Copies of this chain bind each other. A is one copy, B any other.
Amino acid sequence: ATFGDYGGQYVPEALMPALQELEDAYERYVLENEDGFMDEFRERMRDFGGRPTPLQRADRLSERYDREIYLKREDLVHGGAHKLNNALGQVLLSKYMGKERVIAETGAGQHGTATAMAAAHLDMPCEIYMGRTDVNRQRPNVYRMRMNGAEVNPVEAGSGTLKEAINETFRDWATTVETTHYVIGSVVGPHPFPKLVRDFQAVIGREAREQIREKAGRLPDSVVACAGGGSNTMGTFHEFVPDDDVALYAVEAGGSSLGVDEEEGVAPNSATLSTGTDGVLHGAMTKLLQSEEGQIVESHSVSAGLDYAGVGPELANLVETDRVTPVNVDDDAALNGFHRLSNLEGIIPALESSHALGYLEESHDELGDLVVVNVSGRGDKDLETVLEETEKRDLEAAPDVEVFDG
């Protein structure tokens, strides 16, 4: 396999030639910068995407936790999250490969909107698959994709969420593979996707590593990032992996409780690294939330972007080899993290990133004197969810928001 026991290419035969073509393109364009691909990618990420993003000292969190806390501000990337790093890279690569069309899956819509933006920017026809349930509950993101000129194809099957959207995108790809590139949204899927996406996202850690050395004069004691599929996690960690003294924490969504309800086929969490078992999903051997029989269960998290039953195989391997520590915090802790950063630092974080901040609150004592936390995205998209979920709970960090009539 690609990463220790994890990774591989578990896909229908029809897709294998495309994966080999992609592997070839990955090696030439990404690894060897053929035709200046990486130069163009970096230039577009600078001018279109807004890179580099800052590494900001969080003054009030530093005070609160009595140590130096730095935030990597991926929320400032065009589109509001790290997602564009990957989407732009892949859409550009598909152009270099001579593809005529890109497709992508999306759950809550973050990867879909990033892909649609990148495709508009690069004048590439784009179709996004999105579960019917997600289409109806994430309308603003559907509109954003439409406004960027992408087709949005609602997937009617099953529960109409991310898993079904991925399955349907694979089906489209199996039909159109000769002319179409599938822009996978995280460090998941068959080889070479986990490496490709990681390399496009690795700019996060590369910048952060340089920035922290410049600002703090040394490498951090620990780096904390949330983990769903794992693209912001791998992107943040990759450059630090060889730095043995830097502890890496992948914070998963503990949801409402850990464990799998076999009866219902549901896991009320997305803590794949912490609680999952090895198996094959969406093209790769990795850690999964599954029943004993091997059926994939529905994961759950207050954060739609972490709500996935699998995880990147490289991250699974880094956990298996003890380089990355998997931890998790529950929905309440994430919501408190959301409110705390909004209130103390004037940054409204994505609910995904709020998990990293929740972990910081709970376990800062174990993180050393100098901590980098990746703020993978902004939380504007999550306002409605946060309001609803906050109302149901008694959260210490939440403000009173009632200023409306009747």
Contacts and interface: CB of A to CB of B under 8 A. Distances in A.
A406 to B, nearest CB: 10
Majority SS at the chain A contact face: helix
Contact of A399 (B122, B147, B400): B147
Contacts of A123: 59-60, 344
Contacts of A147: 338-339, 342-343, 348, 383, 386, 399, 401
A47 interface: yes
Given A47-B55, A50-B76, A60-B123, A403 B135 contact: yes
Interface string A33-51: 0000000000000111010
Contact of A53 (B50, B344, B404): B50
B405 A132 contact: yes
Interface string A345-358: 11110000000000
A78 interface: yes
Interface in A119-142: 119-123, 132, 135-136, 139-140, 142
Name the residue among A75, A149, A343, A348 with the largest chain B CB count within 10 angstroms: A348
Given A136-B404, A345-B121, A348-B144, A149 B48 contact: no
Name the residue among A54, A132, A140 with the largest chain B CB count within 10 angstroms: A54
A339 B143 CA distance: 11
A399 B149 CA distance: 7
A56 interface: yes
Contacts of A405: 132, 136
A152 interface: yes
Contacts of A46: 54
B144 A380 contact: yes
A387 B143 contact: yes
Interface residues of A, number: 57
Interface in A60-101: 60, 73, 75-76, 78, 80
A76 B146 CA distance: 21
A116 interface: yes
A358 to B, nearest CB: 16
A404 B135 contact: yes
A383 B339 contact: no
Name the residue among A53, A343, A346, A347 with the largest chain B CB count within 10 angstroms: A346
Contacts of A56: 47-48
B345 A380 contact: no
A57 interface: yes
Nearest to A343: B149
Contacts of A348: 144, 147-148
A165 interface: no
A137 to B, nearest CB: 11
Contacts of A53: 50
Contacts of A338: 147
**Which 10 pairs of residues, A with B, have the shortest CB-CB distance?**
A120-B346, A121-B346, A117-B346, A147-B342, A50-B76, A47-B56, A149-B343, A47-B54, A146-B401, A152-B403
Given A48-B54, A149-B344, 16 more contacts: A47-B54, A47-B57, A59-B123, A75-B78, A80-B380, A120-B343, A120-B345, A122-B346, A143-B387, A146-B400, A146-B403, A147-B383, A147-B386, A147-B399, A148-B346, A149-B343
16 contacts: A46-B54, A47-B73, A50-B50, A50-B53, A50-B73, A59-B121, A142-B401, A143-B383, A144-B348, A144-B383, A147-B342, A147-B348, A147-B399, A148-B342, A154-B403, A380-B380
